[in-house]
Chains A and B, each alone.
Chain A
Amino acid sequence: MEPLIEVKNLKKYFKVPAGINHAVDDVSFTINAGETVGVVGESGCGKSTLGRTIIHLQEATDGQVLFHGKNVTHVEGNDLKQLREKMQIIFQDPYSSLNPRFRVERTIYEPLKNSGRFKSKEAIRQEGQRLMDLVGIDERLRSSFPHELDGGRRQRVGIARALALNPEFIVCDEPVSALDVSIQAQVLNLLMDLQDQMGMAYMFVTHDLSVVRHISDNICVMYLGQLVEKAPTRELFRQALHPYTKALFSAIPSTDITKPFQRVQLKSELTSAINPKPGCRFAPRCPYATEACAQPQKLEEIAPNHFVSCCRVKEVN
């Protein structure tokens, strides 16, 4: 089966005063139709940049994004407009991603109007109402302004807007990290139900590992712009192979108080991806690092579908 999205050696560099920030560096993976790929990593590892570059909110520096096998990395004009209908994004912060001067209804009618798919105002209104029913925005809230809604409801507006034109692919950029746990569960359930009904693919960007475990089919782990491990969810949680993934998993505070906590202690903290040296970027913090880690690392298939970018993976495990 042809994948819905194929990302090939994607790079996104930013010029900053201190040099060049390799925010996304040589990342490759695929997303199949109807599937959810989780992207995890700590803040500043480039996971949001990756999402935004794939859907063309930012121009890629190098590499390719294929959508249905067609190269869409540098599309422009009408092609881009059409692509936007197919690829959407739900933003992290429901407080700043809605226009504060638009009523809820208008925010949702806007993409419908712009698409030109609907011939009359009545048709737009009907479709808009259907969408709001779908994501569970109460009738009485539809003419409110965003500031009158709480985070969970605002995020529902963001979801309805992303769904408006029946996209095939949605980047969910930390859609629940600004929400309280009980509301977070409501929104996660909604996203999963919508996927069951409409069959779109998600790329789910988050730093919350329990959320990503719950919602994803496959997971990519990023560290400072690079993909360090990718595997099916079950496989990754059964056996994380990269030293960073291991440390990350062990650092999650578990609510199971019957087991003692055993953490892999990491030295120092995240360095930056500005002017990185070749070789493994995790090496300065890695408890297993040797001289060999200064060489560039390649993603290798260690187990079926389980890719790891670490030259010492065999010795470590």
Chain B
Amino acid sequence: MSEKNQTFLEVKDLTVIYTANKKIVQAVNHVSFSLKKGETLGLVGETGAGKTTIARSILRILPDPPAKMLGGEITMDGVKISALSEEEMRKIRGGKISMIFQDPMTALNPLICVGDQISEGLMLHSDISRDEARKKAGEMLEMVGIPASRYVEYPFEFSGGMKQRVVIAMALACNPDLLLADEPTTALDVTIQAQVLDLIADLQKKLHTSMILITHDLGVVAQTCDNVATVYAGEIIEYGTKKDLFLNPCHPYTVGLFDSLPSMVGDEERLKPIAGLMPDPTDLPQGCKFNPRCPYATEKCRSGEVPNFEVSDGHFCRCWKYAKEAI
């Protein structure tokens, strides 16, 4: 547990834009966060908030053009991976860092049997023979609960939940230090989701992997994460431990997210949705990006960047409401 306190991954001032139809989409704006060894960080937010772009820019798999990383520094285990050459990066991808993609139906190659898709990565990253890689891939399949005898089957022969488990086996095959899980359970039914989440948690414990979990499902976050960051319009607007965010959400947007969920316990008559819509990313509002939808917005919120205020130890919130506590 002692090594847990070391910062493992550090993202500083990450900024990514997309260019589309001569318009500039500010997808990620000055995002900074850090992750310790073995820790799980949840990135929550709505569609288009920039969660996936953050994960993809860590792995440097954003298509350029249209995407462009304007600034930022990503350091993992003391190595500045944002400055590595493409060749060096390829050694890291799928080895030290791997990603579970959102849609298991499209993440697998339909023309290659699932076992070979797993062993391909193994052969690339660890210096082992084809036979050894095959054996290891079979073990990985067993680990995610698929009989090794199904090694030679093709993706179409598996159900959605099983395909997702193949994708997980693939991501974990090389014992990555960092796992980027992009909505790993969104396409699955709840009973299967429960199995997959348990599986990831087990493996994480066994292999001591750090994980960034991207999701819009707050229930999944509550179950798996240590720390949580709320992402809105390409910014982290609130960051804290799971306890901080779930028991004492501070940013009006985070509060709004919790309020708009139908509760499984209480007896509310009407839901309280957040008014309005996400801002157009080609034309973000001045000041706090949330101000047009925020019930507490004042003049101050409409001009200038909002600093990150520390609400309590380790709990940060980008909202002027918490200015006093900080000073």
Q: Which A residues have a C-beta under 8 Å from some C-beta of B? A: 42-43, 150, 152, 180-186, 188-189, 192, 207, 209-211, 213-214, 237, 247-248, 250-258, 261, 263, 265-266, 269-270
Contacts and interface: CB of A to CB of B under 8 A. Distances in A.
A180 B215 CA distance: 11
B106 to A, nearest CB: 17
A52 to B, nearest CB: 20
**Top 3 closest A-B pairs, CB basis?**
A253-B219, A185-B273, A214-B262
B46 interface: yes
A210 B262 contact: yes
B222 A184 contact: no
Contacts of B270: 189, 192
Contact of B189 (A185, A263, A270): A270
Contacts of B298: none
Nearest to A193: B270
B228 to A, nearest CB: 10
Contact of A188 (B193, B194, B197, B262): B262
29 contacts: A42-B189, A42-B191, A180-B46, A182-B46, A182-B274, A183-B273, A185-B261, A185-B272, A188-B262, A189-B270, A207-B189, A209-B190, A210-B262, A210-B263, A213-B264, A214-B268, A214-B271, A237-B264, A248-B190, A254-B222, A254-B223, A255-B218, A255-B222, A255-B246, A256-B222, A257-B222, A257-B247, A265-B195, A266-B194
A207 B192 CA distance: 13
Interface residues of B, number: 42
Interface stretch (B32-40, B74-82, B252-260): B252-260
Contact of B191 (A180, A184, A192, A248): A248
A248 to B, nearest CB: 6
Nearest to A180: B46
**Most chain A Cβ neighbours within 10 Å, of B219, B222, B273, B274:** B273
Given A192-B270, A270-B159, A184 B260 contact: yes
A192 B219 CA distance: 24
Given A152-B277, A255-B218, A182 B256 contact: yes
A47 to B, nearest CB: 12
A207 B190 contact: yes
Interface of B is mostly: helix
Given A150-B277, A266-B195, A254 B219 contact: yes
B153 interface: no
A256 B192 CA distance: 21
B216 A251 contact: no
Contacts of A207: 189-190
B161 interface: yes
Nearest to A244: B191
A252 B257 CA distance: 18
Given A42-B190, A269-B192, A255 B258 contact: yes
Given A180-B46, A257-B243, A188 B192 contact: no
Interface string B178-214: 0000000000011111110110000000000000000
Contacts of A183: 273, 277
Interface in B242-289: 242-243, 246-247, 256-258, 260-265, 268, 270-274, 277
B220 interface: yes
B162 interface: yes
Nearest to A190: B273
A256 B265 contact: yes
A252 B260 contact: no
